[in-house]
Amino acid sequence: MKKLVCITATLLAIGFSFMATPAQAAQKITREDFIKVCPLDLPGTAVHSTATADGLVVAFESSVANSLPELKVRVEKLSQLINTVMEQPADVPRGAIKFSSAFEPTEKGANVVLKPADAKDLEKLQTNVSAKMGTMNAEKKCHFLANVN
């Protein structure tokens, strides 16, 4: 019985730790949130994009093996931030391209796979994100992915 109570208490604690308070849920994601998780400040890291039939792959790769674990963690967080912004209608500017993001680990780093919510926005998404790659590499910042219009 004591073991069951202990397991139940642990599961409740874990469950409550994942629940957001109303203040946390209402917290607006900012440009700084994207900067904090951006992997481009890790040694040897660069980004490039590749258009696919239904979206775009934004590939973060590092030439420094020791950077790979942290790079993958940050790219996953970046993908989650993108989805959070897209799921909050108040955070998506009027007329903005709505898209989803998926995390994909790779041998050399990790990808953020972007897919537009509406197929008619595919070409615009591909063009606009691809145009930001040079700036992202030069400035070592990812906040440009917050708004691809």
Alpha-carbon span 1 to 24, nearest angstrom: 36
Distance of CA 26 to the CA centre of its chain: 19
Report the mean per-residue pLDDT for the chain.
79
* H-helix segments, the chain: 2-17, 22-26, 31-37, 68-87, 122-139
Q: Which residue has the higher pLDDT, 112 or 136?
A: 112
pLDDT at position 27: 63
Question: Token digits for 47?
Answer: 């980004």
pLDDT band at 32 (very low <50, low <70, confident <90, very high): confident
pLDDT digits (tens, 9 = 90+) for 39-61: 999 999 999 999 999 999 999 99
pLDDT at position 9: 31
pLDDT at position 143: 67
pLDDT at position 73: 97
pTM of the model: 0.76
In degrees, to the nearest 5, what angle opens at C-alpha 42 toward C-alphas 69 and 88?
80
Task: Tell me the β-bridge partners of 58.
Answer: 49, 112
pLDDT at position 5: 31
